[in-house]
Structure 1
């Protein structure tokens, strides 16, 4: 009995040597605080999260809903990744002022560039509201009824929970619906671009080095938060002033050494650590290969055009990076899951789980879970595959179909809600599409369409394929659509949308691009989505019960963290190298020498600016060198994922030492299975950031805002002066 229980606990809840896990910052006191202190942390849990006093949480806002950022000066100076700010940098770039290629540095507040639609969100307070959200659900029989009641409770509580008028309440689910937390937030909407290195620094290595170690990328950009005269959130206005933060991060100049404590604070997007083996097997064998093939085809087309045309390179730079990011991640994830034997390990965990359930006398309550997982995942397989094909091709990577799908929503608005709803949605669509066409090239999209529509027609299960795509001549269909469809041009589309609902819908019905998008969407929404939704609802209910069982059958001090869900989390670990394969060992820090070793003149991935070469040759590193060498990146055992891009890496005393931006390829499976031997996050050394701002860009005005410290010497540097 004791042996079985121990086997179950070790299999289901590995200790990870006090590392791994994404923890809710308001719940750190106890086990987590003890672990962090054993790893070397000198702070308390209240230094990290405190409602009544300023704490680290007050310096770490969510950046534009997708990345993390940190405040690094008393004037609201904001640091995040270059790739997080890439879309904004691109939007300000032209052939005449190409900030992607040349970089940008504001020398005064007046030179900082507004970014309409960009926001950052601070967490003010976190409260557990599980009891209120689940009230009245326990007597409901169907899962659908339970979810409807939960959503009604969430809506009511969000409206009534105490907050200031400029704040917002948001409720998120944790542990697969076994816990609910309410976040009181403040969102600032006047965010201005302050500085960015050229892409040859901020994106050095580009797609070749993405997810790879050793890494040599200066992946950072600078923004500033502006507020109204009362220091509260406000829309953009020339009258707004730099935000005064509750807390900002001092910056350490002492650098990192192997085994130093690291804390990464941020908003990880999504993990699935508690999936059953059957689900992981489906991801590895079916879903990931399909998505990888789709994106691989799109990337090859775009890359060919971008290498031969600078204008297309500017237009497609951000889109290409977005597509390539998860394409490469899925490849590494699948390889890592296979290499770490994750499926077999999960099967062993499940065997031990079944024995533990039996021994606890809980077979009636939990014995059905694993057999039903097998049943439902088998049933959902063709629907899940079709769903991925639809979203990857019709809703993401073929722009004409993506535009067409937005117009399909326009037609549905008319059918469901009438003329007024149609006109309102049309007015909203046009500005968005205007932005879309700014970075649209018909020739590129035509070749992408030709490749991907062939994959769609041949790869999706036949029962879910629209009649218009059965037995098609791909070249002929492509030629007809891109010759005749108004969806290939903003001006033609505007003409198509002129008139009342009936006039517009009549014109749309004759457009070959729109009719194909409509056929694909209609088939998906009638044949795939309803069944997928019902099966997924059953799987979610099982996952909730599975999570409940894991929580219930584990000891109180088991290290069971909730999956990531884009809420504020803490992950802690150490600076640490690793051994990815036999006879290969990686050191934890890279240096500027590595940049020069990779340097390929005029290569779009590995070119190096002349000024940086000059600084390297002269060893002109200022205050930022470490024994005569300039650190660039370092790795740690922090458990991160998408959304942690831009997260601050913080030392034992609460000082900024780096900027998270990636993971190693061998460990990208950490979203599903964390292996402490090979899972590493990649961070820009903050000294490299300062070096680029100071020595490369000469932006002394920005350095002067920051508080630079030597925590190991217990002093501030003389260069730390707040700009007036």
Structure 2
């Protein structure tokens, strides 16, 4: 069990708190002891490295889960209660919502465990261990090994290592490469698939500010939802069953209601998705000019057409709420990233770095022989990718971004089986599609999809080079004289895939000819076949050359800077970042405070704008200032705060943890000025936007009245830092009498199982802390 530090902190110095610089990096927890622990202690960490990550003993890592494969969550009770973001739980909340029980609008709170709602498609992965397997994967592979042989051997060994670690399917395990293929690590997880919805505030709290405030600071969003993980009675992972019992985590996070101050230590634990910080200027050009510009164009059109239909009917709004939010998120992100790259002159910076690299390489004959042509190879590979890259972007964003074509594409396994004339296999393939079809039509509105189809297929026809388009698609466009509304009429009038009834009937009696003659399937099948035969091979060849060159480039960078401690790019594996609570200045003459309050919500309130509606009860609580123990020392209710932690997508829902190992907030966003974060870290602007733990508890307790949930948490208050600082002016020295009195007070507060009071002096400061340990 992690140590508990008593709320007595006697400062006898008037010096300001230690002001730490932002720490760039998303670090592997298993390497914290060797790489980061000393620096973290200097910034305010009070835990040992083993209390952060341990395989054999309870540690912080046991409280952190990968939520659904796309977010992060954390245990906040011994009963498997799990905290994540509202937007991470959004699709689950939406799946239980109807016009009669609109949990998106009204919120949901289970006042007893039997009222919690199951989510069949949701799972959480809990890390068992991670291991460095670089030596096993690269054994016998050298610089003279051909790329083909290297790729084959590393892939086979990664699979073999993961398969052995799975212990015959008991664990989910995989090996990931790091530093562009220079290192390899094994990750072993337990997967729990009985995850039930416990609580969620109304969207007017959980999504307050909507798209307008997305990626922005100041924020005032209660972005959280609560789930509970269940296990079989014998303690093993199990599918949903009423006989399952709440999971007992090895560790859960105490929830702090203490205040936070500028420069206080903060760490974020989670599963960041993807960063590309070793990317060269050549790759950055593709990111800006092809991926982001195309994503902005295509998603802007789709969002506008969806919104038209959502505004017409509440049922359509509920159906498309989750899809709309997901699509809008990285639409806006792409805009911010392009603007940030231009503002920060990121391209120019990378070009300058590459010039320094080339100078270093050419200064030594051996280095020149090994790395001299690496940047040219990267440039040539990216030039080849650029010729075909739009085919990939538009396949994902336009073709499979159209719902009927996505469903048609999901018929491909059945189509392949039907071609074999194997009736039994076809029946099984059709059965496997039933849940997919049910889920698809639960949230489908054909008139909206028809408009999107016409718009996005028009873009595909106009923007993809004609020689990269399939003949069948071009013939269909020609047949309707380039009128995509008429093409949409034809497809939606004749495809059985726009009707749930007709699609289910087809699955009951699947026939090859019927599927081959379906116009939606014809379009997507022709585009996919053309992509695989005319685009993918060229991209695969170019990407293989790029991968080889990037691996050498990163290896050379680490050789060039031997004293620099590098961190690997994020790749959806568990990472820890650390920094401090920090405000920032986004532009000349403007300074942002590090926290916002409920008063800011009331300032933004607008009953005519769905993004800024404030629930009546929240307004009442504000008017009466009924904040209870969750107010800060000024009587304010803090809603959000910011830190300079290094995060990215996938960190949504990550816990923000103080130096004592307590939850002080939950991360939910980054800021607009640092949208370049996946490509380059900006120490001046990079901020992690978090919901304050006190607002979490306030909404659960005062707003929802879900005291059953409050009662199962471990809530801690380590005192008021301001009170200590204010008192310090009157205390020139810590006298022995005062210290002895404080120790006696601490002993009096000992709880069962706590047996030691320790006096800890901080080096270089006239202060003492009293710690209670088990």
Over residues 503-527 of structure 1, what are the superposed CA-to-partner deviations in whole Å (9 max), with x where a residue is unaligned? x221122222221122222221211
For residue 594 of structure 1, what is the aligned residue in structure 2? 600
Q: Deviations over 1:636-668 (max 9, x none)?
A: 111111110000000011100000011001112
Residue aligning to 2:541:
534
Match of 2:626 among 601, 620, 623: 620
- 2:401 aligned with 1:376: no
Counterpart CA distance in 2 for 1:150 and 1:593 is 56
Total equivalences in the alignment: 699
1:637 to 2:641 alignment: no
Partner of 1:269: 273
1:93-112 matches, cutoff 5 A: 93-112=97-116
Aligned to 1:655: 662
Q: Do residues 307 (structure 1) and 311 (structure 2) align?
A: yes
Q: Residue 551 of structure 2 is aligned with which of 524, 539, 544?
A: 544
Select the structure of larger CA radius of gyration.
2
For the pair 1:287 / 2:291, whether they are aligned, the reply is yes
CA contact (8 A) 1:202 1:219 kept: yes
Please list, as runs of the form range in 1=range in 2, the aligned pairs for 1:349-388 lying within 5 A after superposition.
Answer: 349-361=353-365, 362-388=367-393
In the alignment, the residues of structure 2 paired with residue 582 and residue 417 of structure 1 have an alpha-carbon distance, to the nearest angstrom, of 70
Question: Using the alignment, how far apart are the partners of 2:36 and 2:421 within structure 1?
Answer: 52
CA distance in 2, matches of 1:338, 1:415: 51
Label 1:422 to 1:708 Cα distance change in 2 as closer, same or farther (>3 A). Answer: same
Q: CA deviation at 1:360?
A: 4.2
1:670 is paired with a residue whose SS is: coil
Preserved contact between residue 59 and residue 248 of structure 1 (Cα < 8 Å): yes
Asked if 1:708 is matched to 2:718, the reply is no
Match of 2:164 in 1: 160
Q: What residue in structure 1 maps to residue 524 of structure 2?
A: 517
How many angstroms does 1:358 deviate by?
2.3
**Counterpart-to-counterpart distance in 2, 1:172 and 1:56:** 22
Does 1:482 find its partner at 2:492?
A: yes
1:495 aligned onto 2:501 = no
Indicate if the aligned counterparts of 2:23 and 2:645 stay in contact, CA closer than 8 A: yes
Equivalence for 2:59: 55
Aligned residue in 1 for 2:90? 86
SS at match of 1:173: strand
SS in 1 for 2:170: coil
Distance 1:330 1:258 in 2: 30
Which stretch shifts more, 423-432 or 682-691?
423-432
Q: Does the residue aligned with 2:411 lie in a helix, a strand or coil? A: helix
The residue aligned with 1:682 is: 689
Aligned alpha-carbon RMSD (Å): 2.1
Among 69, 74, 78, which residue is 1:70 paired with? 74
For residues 551-601 of structure 1, give each alpha carbon's deviation from its aligned partner in whole angstroms, at most 9, with x where no partner exists.
Answer: 222224x13110001100000111111112222221111111111111111
- 1:81-114 Cα deviation digits (max 9, x unpaired): 0111111111111111111111111111111111
Find the aligned partners of 2:448 and 2:169 in 1 and give their Cα distance. Answer: 47
Q: Is the 8 A contact 2:430 2:508 kept in 1?
A: no
Residue matched to 1:13: none
| Residues 420, 140 of structure 1: alpha-carbon distance in 2 compared, 3 angstrom cutoff | farther
1:324-343 paired onto structure 2 within 5 Å: 324-343=328-347
Residue 608 of structure 1: aligned partner? 614
Structure 2 residue matching 1:357: 3-state secondary structure: helix
Shift of 1:428: 1.1
User: Residue 237 of structure 1 aligns with which residue?
Assistant: 241
Change beyond 3 A, Cα 1:528–1:135: same
Which of 156, 181, 185 aligns to 1:181? It is 185
Counterpart of 1:635 in 2: which secondary structure? strand
Aligned equivalents of 2:182, 2:261: Cα separation in 1: 40
Q: Distance in 2 between matches of 1:195 and 1:144?
A: 51
* Aligned residue in 1 for 2:205: 201
Range that drifts further, 419-428 or 197-206:
419-428
Q: Deviations over 1:274-322 (max 9, x none)?
A: 0011110121122210111000000001111112210000000000001
* Residue 302 to residue 625, structure 1, CA distance change in 2 (3 Å): same
CA distance in 2, matches of 1:216, 1:534: 48
- Judged with a 3 Å threshold, the aligned counterparts in structure 2 of structure 1 residues 413 and 540 are, in CA distance, closer, same or farther, namely farther
Alpha-carbon deviations, 1:439-487, whole Å to 9, x = none?
1001100111111111111111221122323552212111111122111
Query: d(CA) in 2 for partners of 1:688 and 1:120?
Result: 25
Instruction: Please point out which of 318, 322, 338 is paired with 1:318.
Output: 322
Match of 1:452 in 2: 456
8 Å Cα contact 1:574-1:636 kept in structure 2: yes
Specify every segment of 5 or more residues in structure 2 that has no aligned partner in the other structure, as ranges.
1-19, 721-744, 753-774
* 1:424 and 2:431 correspond: no
Distance 1:562 1:326, change over 3 A: same
* Partner in structure 2 of residue 506 of structure 1: 513
Which segment is superposed worse, 261-270 or 129-138?
129-138
Per the TM alignment, residue 247 of structure 1 is displaced from its structure 2 partner at its CA by 0.5
Could you tell me which of 672, 683, 689 is aligned with 2:679?
Answer: 672
TM-score (ref. length: structure 2): 0.87
**Is the 8 Å Cα contact of residues 419 and 512 (structure 2) preserved in structure 1?**
no
How far did residue 323 of structure 1 move?
0.5
C-alpha displacement of 1:408: 3.3
Which residue of the partner structure matches residue 590 of structure 2? 584
**Distance in 2 (alpha carbons) for counterparts of 1:409 and 1:536:** 27
- Residue 727 of structure 2 corresponds to none
Stretch deviating more after TM superposition (416-425 or 400-409)? 416-425
Kept after mapping to 2: 8 A contact 1:393/1:452 = yes
User: Residue 410 of structure 2: SS of its match in structure 1?
Assistant: helix
- Is 525-534 or 420-429 further displaced after alignment? 420-429
| Distance in structure 2 (CA, Å) of the matches to 1:413 and 1:669 | 45
CA distance in 1: counterparts of 2:281 and 2:242, whole angstroms: 55
SS at match of 2:87: coil
- After superposition, the Cα gap between the structure-2 partners of 1:715 and 1:91, relative to the gap in structure 1 and judged at 3 Å, is farther
Q: CA deviation at 1:547?
A: 1.2
In structure 1, the gaps of 5 or more residues are 1-15
Could you list the per-position Cα deviations for residues 480-499 of structure 1 after superposition, in whole angstroms to 9, with x for gaps in the alignment?
11122111111112233443
CA distance in 1, matches of 2:594, 2:746: 26
Aligned to 2:230: 226
